[in-house]
Structure 1
Amino acid sequence: MASVPSEADIALARELFDKWDNGSGTSKSELERQTWGDGSSHGRRFDRFVRTNLGVETSRPSRQSDRIADLEAQVRALGAQPVGAAEVEWQVHLQQARASCLEALRVWNDPSSAFRTGAFALLFVTAWNSLVLALLQREGKEWRRVDELGQPILSGEQEQSLSTGELVGLAIEGDQCRGVRENVGKWIELRNAVAHRHLPALDALVIPLAQSGLLNFENVLVEEFGPEYRVGEKLSVPLQLSGFRDPGVLSSLKRLQSSLPPDVQAVLAAADAAPAELLSDPTYMLRVAFVPVVPGSGRSPDSVAYFVPPGEVPSELAETLERYVVLAKPTARPNFTATDVINEVQRRAGFKFSVHDHIRACRNLGVRPPVGEPEATLDFRYAEYISSLKRHLYSQAWIDLLVSEFATPERFTELTGRTAVPLEAP
């Protein structure tokens, strides 16, 4: 802790400053020789003495000093620490934030990643923790846990930091930033929920939260520290292997979601159950529709992909995008109960058809999973498991398929394991 300047030092510093600042031309080195009998520091001792005792800065950086400062800033923007430069704690946290965010993106975009959401959540929350630490430390705001006397609480020899959620609340304030804070909060919940668990089914379901979180992170970086610290320029739009022509993508997503543990499903359900104003805030959750476009002959596209803010979507597309969020859902959702299916199939196929027969047919035709596996839907063209009802509903296409499959008694027996009995038989 720095000592309090004495009255004598303050008086001497004021006297030296007045002699140097009065236009007499007396140099700092000359004043040092007159005062301390040594001018070998070439004015640096004078600068330090006046700054310490009066709080006045007397050094005037040269153009060379400005250039060095600019070069150091460029080196830090590239993620490195300039050799010989003083290490500032908030700048170290800023570099850690960018490095952790880029590593999170690398894991997410790696097609061979086997622990995508878990690793991304861990690294992304770490990135936010470092970023808000940098913000608070740069502004001189408290980021530590303190006791009743205001003294930092130690863990071993280290000062305890506030939690990431608390830090975000202190660094990113205001109603206009609610979506940002809520998004980080969901990633903290996900990080805690997936720790030590392998849940690949989660990857496709958290994309809206991940996309918003990344854009929020980039915006804070640029707004608070300048465009040279952005991470977006290091990235490209990832290529897709499915989604544009695969009709089974939606059913796969639904099936994967239903296989998640209840507590993880609860986190996702809570995210989707947020107030309407939060769901419409792209800083909380951003759903993006990819629309394949072939440019006209002789023209090349301006960019690979376009990201249009929700408020700027053309009116002719707004209704479509409201219904088709990521992938087109079936226009006619399954709405027939098993009893409805059984009655209709019996009437049209002409065979007695029981509940047990129906379940066997569902499994043999790949619409429901084998016995002993978690209840889910395997083909959303024909059925959907409604968790709130704890049962399946079936589509007209499923009824039509069964009637077609039961065209012969042999096929009926193959699918149900029971000899076909005509409906008119006693």
Structure 2
Amino acid sequence: MAGTGDGSLSDDDHRRVAQEMFDRWHAGEPKSALEIEFWDNPTSHGKAFTAYVKKWLGIATEGRSRQAQRIEELERMLRVHGIPPSDSDELSVEYLLVAKARESALAALRAFNDPSSGYRTEQFILLMVIAWNSLLQAILEREGIDYFDRDDDRKIRTVEGRPRILDTDELIGLAGEERLHPSVAENLRYFLRLRNRIAHRYLPALDAPTAGYAQSMLINFEEVLVSNFGAESALGDQLYLPLQIGKFRREPELKRIQAQLPLDIVEFLDRERRQVPEEILGDARYCMRIFFVSTTANRERSADAAVTFVKSDEVSDELLAALPHTAIVTKPKRVAVASDDLHRPSDVVERVSSQLNARFTMDTHTRCWKYFKVRPPSDAGEPEATDQRYCRYDKLAGGYGYTSAWVEKLVRDLRDQSTYARIVGRLA
């Protein structure tokens, strides 16, 4: 049957088709099955149906029952794992890429955490670069951005008959800062440069000086994956813990390990630290650095290692000198943060509204921060308990400010009609 944009159908014909499709869907038939029957479209997964019925009948079809919503969530979960929800379903290119990205990242995690591995960092880098490459392709594919290598005549270059994809570094540039934070992009480029240095070399001593970068790379991947493809695509809560802590190493031991590295690698690591801008060097998204402070256990049977949160007025001179290059682990519920880099709620509404093709009001914003749990309710006893990536409490002003990352997240997530309807309760 004719497609959604077929000019051979009159407006009345479109309304008749839309009504028939809506009635059958309302009776229990899946949107995807109707799309295949009417338009021979196995890859829309309900989006074309929703837009078509909305256009010709003015009916929003996203307000489904809890059971229907759960079924859709399970279908999305199957797709991000590379499994078609039904025999008649066909995975779109973006979901095939997401499945590949997830599998590569999990393989990298297993390789790094293998206690018997002496080749962990090299394996981790190779597999995580593949994971990032696939994830960036999936994002660009979903947004309709061309990521193929083309010649001067705009023809796609091929390798052994297959279309050639742009290199990972070029995909980073294509994604841009609106999709990839500069610190995240620099962390990934760090590993691209390191990969080229260590190819075909066996360097177990590389594990210690690069572990912080590796942890950031993995967490960055998880956050970008989930923010673009939903909670169903998450790799697991274990990704928020350090990759591996064999034992707490003292600085002399770390220096001894690093001394085992070839001179060109040592020079590379030093040069990378010198060349990175200060604002990126101190960002945990570029490299995660944690101070562990050994303390005496209260009881004999207590653990023989503990972590202490050091108060700002008790920091030693040596530690103070390292602070500009270090991300300190703190208790976010007790930290008051300056608000000069934050946006008022009204500013957030204005910024998001100007970029979003949907209604976005102060009420919409309230629904969003509640849905994503970026801050506690107004009557909370601990107003500082925020997700500091997106929201911070200003103790002096007695209110909340929101980061630019929060604005970017709202614009990115709410462009998806199903996400918008799920949060706001109605379509735009």
Aligned mate of 1:125, from 122, 129, 139? 129
Aligned mate of 2:52, from 53, 56, 60? 56
Cα distance in 1, alignment partners of residues 190 and 23 from structure 2: 58
Distance 1:316 1:189, change over 3 A: same
Aligned mate of 2:315, from 314, 317, 331? 317
Cα distance in 1, alignment partners of residues 158 and 259 from structure 2: 47
The CA deviation at 1:138 is: 0.9
Q: Deviations over 1:106-165 (max 9, x none)?
A: 111111112112111101111110111111011111111123343322223211111001
- In the other structure, the counterpart of 1:364 is none
Alignment of 1:270-281 (within 5 A): 270-274=271-275, 275-281=277-283
Aligned mate of 1:187, from 185, 191, 206? 191
The CA deviation at 1:183 is: 1.2
Instruction: Name the SS of the counterpart of 1:168 in structure 2.
Output: helix
- In the other structure, the counterpart of 1:250 is 254
- In the other structure, the counterpart of 1:286 is 288
Output the amino acid matched with 1:267.
F
Output the amino acid matched with 1:285.
C
Aligned mate of 2:163, from 159, 166, 187? 159
Cα distance in 1, alignment partners of residues 254 and 36 from structure 2: 71
CA contact (8 A) 1:100 1:124 kept: yes
Cα distance in 2, alignment partners of residues 87 and 254 from structure 1: 46
TM norm structure 1: 0.58
Distance 1:15 1:196, change over 3 A: same
Instruction: Name the SS of the counterpart of 1:283 in structure 2.
Output: coil
- In the other structure, the counterpart of 2:399 is none
The CA deviation at 1:219 is: 2.0
CA contact (8 A) 1:242 1:249 kept: no
Alignment of 1:359-378 (within 5 A): none
- Bigger Rg, which one: 1
Is the counterpart of residue 16 in structure 1 residue 13 in structure 2?
A: yes
CA contact (8 A) 2:3 2:39 kept: no
Cα distance in 2, alignment partners of residues 316 and 176 from structure 1: 36
Output the amino acid matched with 1:317.
V
Output the amino acid matched with 1:10.
L
Q: Deviations over 1:159-199 (max 9, x none)?
A: 11110011012224259822211111110111111111111
Distance 1:5 1:171, change over 3 A: closer
The CA deviation at 1:226 is: 2.4
Alignment of 1:145-224 (within 5 A): 145-173=149-177, 177-224=181-228
Is the counterpart of residue 138 in structure 1 residue 142 in structure 2?
A: yes
Distance 1:213 1:231, change over 3 A: same
Distance 1:254 1:192, change over 3 A: closer
Residue-pair matches, total: 299
Aligned mate of 2:113, from 84, 87, 109? 109
Q: Deviations over 1:270-319 (max 9, x none)?
A: 21112333322222222222234567579x99xx979x8xxx97453385
Any stretches of 5+ residues in structure 2 without a counterpart?
25-32, 41-46, 327-428
Distance 1:134 1:315, change over 3 A: farther
Distance 1:282 1:18, change over 3 A: closer
Cα distance in 2, alignment partners of residues 277 and 113 from structure 1: 34
Instruction: Name the SS of the counterpart of 1:206 in structure 2.
Output: helix
Instruction: Name the SS of the counterpart of 1:273 in structure 2.
Output: helix
Instruction: Name the SS of the counterpart of 1:112 in structure 2.
Output: coil
Distance 1:194 1:20, change over 3 A: closer
- In the other structure, the counterpart of 1:69 is 72
Name the structure, 1 or 2, with higher relative contact order (CA <8 Å, separation 6+): 2
Cα distance in 1, alignment partners of residues 72 and 124 from structure 2: 34
Output the amino acid matched with 1:265.
V
Output the amino acid matched with 2:74.
L
Cα distance in 1, alignment partners of residues 266 and 258 from structure 2: 12
CA RMSD across the alignment: 4.4
Report % sequence identity.
30
Cα distance in 2, alignment partners of residues 100 and 45 from structure 1: 32
Cα distance in 2, alignment partners of residues 114 and 174 from structure 1: 38
CA contact (8 A) 1:243 1:249 kept: no
